[in-house]
C-alpha cells in the first residue's frame, strides 16, 4: 500500500519534535509519531476544496446567534 | 438503599415545598451513603459535609419562612472537580493543581447556590477531563456502582457514579467529547450535553474551548430539566455564551410527544464492528416504545461517524495543547503518563491543519442539519457495549472506534443520554436523543416521556 503523502517519516518527525520546546524521550517521539500518523490519516477524509459556506468556524453563525 | 437518598429531584422538591421533607434529612441520607459506600467507589475527591449541612439548614429555615427559591432549594448536588469552588480545592485530578483553592465559584456553581442547592463536594474526574485514567494521577479513579471492577466512563466519572449510587440527587459534568454521556450511559443515569453556549463555562477548567460544554447529570431527564432551568442563561464573561430567551425546561417535559418526528441513525452502530447485540436490541425496543407514545420514527442517513471523529480529534488536539502548552513544557512530570502524551500530540498540528478542521466542522454542521430536515430529533446508540475495565487504555484511544457521542460535540447540538435497559450481564444500555441547536427542551421532553413509559428508572445498583 502506498504511503499517504500526509504521513511524515519518523526522522522528519524527530526534527519537528526538537522544535516544539517539549522535553521528549525517544519513546515519547516514537509514540507521538504513531499518534500523529493516525491524525494525518483522519485528515485525509477532509474535503480538499472548501466551499465558501464552509469558511466560518463559529458555531453561532449556523444557529443565527450573535455573540455579544 | 435509603429512600431519601434515591428520591428524584422532582419528588424531593415537591416534598420540600409541602414541608413533608427537610433538606437536612435528605442531605444526611446522602452523607450517610457516601460514608458507607464511597470508600469502594471513589466518587468524591473532596467532601464538604459541614458546609452542606449548613446550607441544608439554611434552606430549611428559608422554606419554613415561605422563602422557597425554586426546585433545587435544599437539593444535594455534587460538582465535578474541574468546576472552581470558592475556598474548596479544585484540582482537576492534576498534580499541577492539587493545592489549588479558588477564590470564587464557577458561574454555574454560583447559579446553583443562588437557587439554594446544597453542594455536597467535588466529584472525581479524569485528569483535566481528557479521558485518561492512569495510576500516576493524584486521586483514585471512580468506580462503576453496577460493578466496581469496571470504569464508570468519563471524564465526568465521579458524577455518573455519585448519581447512580444515590450519593447526590444531581451532579455537574462537562462534555467536550462525550464526557457527560459516557458515564451517564455506563452508570444508567440521565445526562444532558446542552447546546454549545447555553451554559456558562466560566470558572471551569477548559479542555477545548470550541467544544467545551457544561451540563447536568441526574437520575431522570426531568431532573436534568429542573437543573437546566437554574443553569441556563447568558454570561457576558464567557465569550461563547449565547443570548437566548429563557425556556422553562421542566414545564415542557410533561408535554405529549405525539407527532414528534425522530430520525434513527442506525448505521452508526448497527454493523459488524459496531454495538453489541444487546445494545442494538435495547435501542430497537426503545424505538418501539417511542412509536407507541405517538412519535414518528424513520431511519435516516447521516455523514460517516468517522468524519466527526476525525474533525473532533484535530480541533480538540490543537485546542487542548494550546490550553496546556506552558505547563507541558515547564512541568511535564506533573502530568499523568497518558494525559501528557495526548496533550503533547497537539504540538505537532499546524495552523493550516486546524483551520482545515474548522472548515470541515462547518461542513459537517451543514450536512447534519440537512440530514435532519423534516425531523425534530435524531436518535442513536449511546455506547457500543458494556463499561471498560481498568487495564491501561491505549494512549491514543481516540484513533480507535469512532465514539458515538462525538457528532453532537462537532455540531454543538443538545444531546441527552437515556437508559434503555440492561444487558444479559446486568450492565446498562442507553441511547442518545439529539435535537436542533437550542431546542434542548424537545430533547428532554422526549427523554422524559420514554422514561415514564418504561421501568428502567426503578432499578438502582445494589451496593
Pick among B353, B396, B410, B413 to test the A interface (most A CBs inside 10 A): B396
Predicted TM-score of the model (pTM)? 0.95
Can you give the pLDDT of all 463 residues of chain B as single tens digits? 458 999 999 999 999 999 999 999 999 999 999 999 999 999 999 999 999 999 999 999 999 999 999 999 999 999 999 999 999 999 999 999 999 999 999 999 999 999 999 999 999 999 999 967 888 999 999 999 999 999 999 999 999 999 999 999 999 999 999 999 999 999 999 999 999 999 999 999 999 999 999 999 999 999 999 999 999 999 999 999 999 999 999 999 999 999 999 999 999 999 999 999 999 999 999 999 999 999 999 999 999 999 999 999 999 999 999 999 999 999 999 999 999 999 999 999 999 999 899 989 989 999 999 999 999 999 999 999 999 999 877 888 888 899 999 999 999 999 999 999 999 999 999 999 999 999 999 999 999 999 999 999 999 999 9
Quick check: B399 and A53 CB within 8 A? no
Q: How far is B124 from chain A (nearest CA, A)?
A: 27
Quick check: A39 and B329 CB within 8 A? no
Residue B29 near residue B49, CB atoms below 8 Å: no
Residue B1: predicted pLDDT? 44
Determine, yes or no, domain membership for B383: yes
Residue A52: predicted pLDDT? 56
Determine, yes or no, domain membership for B118: yes
- Its domain, for residue B436, covers 4-306+355-458
Q: How far apart are CA B372 and CA B354, in angstroms?
A: 27
List the single residue in A with minimal CA-CA distance to B365.
Answer: A62
C-alpha cell at B355: 483551520
C-alpha cell at A9: 517519516
Determine, yes or no, domain membership for B316: no
pLDDT band at A58 (very low <50, low <70, confident <90, very high): low
Determine, yes or no, domain membership for B155: yes
Q: Which residues pair with B88 in a beta bridge?
A: B85
Residues in chain B with CB shorter than 8 Å from the CB of A5 are none
Quick check: A67 and B317 CB within 8 A? no
Q: Nearest Cβ partner of B412 from A46, A53, A59?
A: A59
Residue with cell 522535553: A23
Q: How far is B309 from chain A (nearest CA, A)?
A: 8
- % pLDDT > 70, chain A: 62
Residue B269 near residue B371, CB atoms below 8 Å: no
Residues in chain A with CB shorter than 8 Å from the CB of B317 are 39
Q: Residue B414 belongs to a domain with what CATH number?
A: 3.90.1300.10
Residue B282: predicted pLDDT? 98
pLDDT band at A66 (very low <50, low <70, confident <90, very high): very low
Quick check: B329 and A21 CB within 8 A? yes
Determine, yes or no, domain membership for B343: no
Determine, yes or no, domain membership for B317: no
pLDDT band at A8 (very low <50, low <70, confident <90, very high): confident
Q: How far is B302 from chain A (nearest CA, A)?
A: 15
Residues in chain B with CB shorter than 8 Å from the CB of A68 are 234, 236, 243
Quick check: A62 and B210 CB within 8 A? no
Residue A53: predicted pLDDT? 59
Residues in chain A with CB shorter than 8 Å from the CB of B234 are 68
Residue A60: predicted pLDDT? 47
Quick check: B345 and A39 CB within 8 A? yes
Residue A6: predicted pLDDT? 59
Determine, yes or no, domain membership for B171: yes
Domain count, chain B: 1
Quick check: A46 and B310 CB within 8 A? yes
Average pLDDT value for chain A: 77
Residue B439: predicted pLDDT? 97
Cα-flanking dihedrals φ and ψ of residue A37, to 5°? -60, -40
Cis peptide bond prior to B297, omega within 30° of 0: no
Q: How far is A11 from chain B (nearest CA, A)?
A: 14
Residues 28-57 of A with CB under 8 A from B: 28, 31-32, 34-36, 38-39, 42-43, 45-47, 50-51, 53-57
Count of residues making up chain A: 68
Q: How far is B164 from chain A (nearest CA, A)?
A: 33
C-alpha cell at B43: 466518587
Residue A54: is its pLDDT beyond 70?
no
Residue B87 near residue B25, CB atoms below 8 Å: no
Q: Nearest Cβ partner of B347 from A20, A46, A59?
A: A20
Residue B59: predicted pLDDT? 98
Determine, yes or no, domain membership for B312: no
Residue A67: is its pLDDT beyond 50?
no
pLDDT band at A62 (very low <50, low <70, confident <90, very high): very low
Q: How far apart are CA B406 and CA B29, in angstroms?
A: 37
Amino acid at each position: 500500500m502506498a504511503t499517504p503523502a500526509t504521513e511524515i517519516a519518523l526522522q522528519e518527525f524527530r526534527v519537528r519534535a526538537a522544535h516544539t520546546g517539549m522535553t521528549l524521550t525517544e519513546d515519547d517521539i516514537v509514540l507521538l509519531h504513531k499518534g500523529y500518523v493516525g491524525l494525518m490519516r483522519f485528515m485525509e477524509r477532509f474535503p480538499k476544496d472548501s466551499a465558501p459556506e464552509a469558511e466560518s468556524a463559529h458555531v453561532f453563525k449556523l444557529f443565527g446567534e450573535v455573540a455579544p | 438503599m435509603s429512600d431519601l437518598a434515591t428520591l428524584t429531584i422532582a419528588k424531593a422538591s415537591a416534598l420540600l415545598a409541602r414541608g413533608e421533607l427537610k433538606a437536612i434529612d435528605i442531605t444526611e441520607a446522602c452523607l450517610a451513603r457516601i460514608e458507607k459506600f464511597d470508600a469502594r467507589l471513589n466518587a468524591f475527591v473532596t467532601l464538604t459535609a459541614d458546609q452542606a449541612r449548613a446550607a441544608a439548614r439554611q434552606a430549611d429555615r428559608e422554606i419554613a419562612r415561605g422563602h422557597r427559591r425554586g426546585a433545587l432549594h435544599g437539593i444535594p448536588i455534587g460538582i465535578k472537580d474541574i468546576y472552581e469552588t470558592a475556598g474548596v480545592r479544585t484540582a482537576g485530578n492534576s498534580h499541577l493543581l492539587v493545592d489549588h483553592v479558588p477564590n470564587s465559584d464557577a458561574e454555574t456553581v454560583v447559579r446553583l447556590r443562588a437557587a439554594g442547592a446544597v453542594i455536597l463536594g467535588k466529584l472525581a474526574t479524569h485528569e483535566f477531563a481528557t479521558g485518561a485514567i492512569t495510576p500516576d494521577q493524584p486521586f483514585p479513579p471512580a468506580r462503576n456502582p453496577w460493578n466496581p471492577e469496571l470504569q464508570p466512563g468519563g471524564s465526568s466519572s465521579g458524577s455518573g457514579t455519585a448519581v447512580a449510587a444515590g450519593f447526590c440527587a444531581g451532579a455537574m459534568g462537562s462534555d467536550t467529547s462525550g464526557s457527560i454521556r459516557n458515564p451517564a450511559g455506563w452508570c444508567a443515569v440521565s445526562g444532558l450535553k446542552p447546546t454549545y453556549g447555553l451554559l456558562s463555562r466560566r470558572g471551569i477548567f477548559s479542555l477545548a474551548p470550541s467544544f467545551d460544554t457544561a451540563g447536568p447529570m441526574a437520575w431522570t431527564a426531568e431532573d436534568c430539566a429542573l437543573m437546566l432551568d437554574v443553569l441556563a442563561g447568558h454570561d457576558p464573561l464567557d465569550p461563547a455564551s449565547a443570548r437566548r430567551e429563557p425556556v422553562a425546561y421542566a414545564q415542557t417535559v410533561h408535554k405529549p410527544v405525539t407527532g414528534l418526528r425522530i430520525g434513527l441513525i442506525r448505521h452508526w452502530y448497527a454493523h459488524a464492528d459496531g454495538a453489541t447485540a444487546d445494545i442494538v436490541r435495547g435501542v430497537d425496543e426503545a424505538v418501539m416504545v417511542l412509536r407507541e407514545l405517538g412519535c414518528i420514527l424513520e431511519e435516516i442517513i447521516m455523514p460517516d461517524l468517522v468524519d466527526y471523529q476525525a474533525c473532533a480529534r484535530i480541533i480538540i488536539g490543537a485546542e487542548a495543547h494550546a490550553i496546556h502548552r506552558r505547563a507541558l513544557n515547564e512541568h511535564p512530570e506533573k502530568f499523568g503518563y497518558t494525559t501528557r502524551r495526548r496533550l503533547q500530540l497537539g504540538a505537532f498540528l499546524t495552523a493550516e491543519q486546524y483551520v482545515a478542521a474548522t472548515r470541515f466542522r462547518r461542513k459537517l454542521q451543514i450536512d447534519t442539519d440537512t440530514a435532519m430536515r423534516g425531523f425534530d430529533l435524531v436518535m442513536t446508540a449511546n455506547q457500543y457495549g458494556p463499561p471498560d475495565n481498568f487495564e491501561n487504555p491505549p494512549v491514543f484511544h481516540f484513533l480507535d472506534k469512532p465514539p458515538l457521542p462525538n457528532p453532537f460535540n462537532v455540531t454543538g447540538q443538545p444531546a441527552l443520554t437515556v437508559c434503555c435497559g440492561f444487558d444479559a450481564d446486568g450492565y446498562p444500555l442507553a441511547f442518545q436523543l439529539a435535537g436542533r441547536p437550542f431546542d434542548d427542551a424537545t430533547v428532554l421532553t422526549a427523554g422524559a416521556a420514554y422514561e415514564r413509559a418504561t421501568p428502567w428508572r426503578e432499578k438502582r445498583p445494589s451496593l
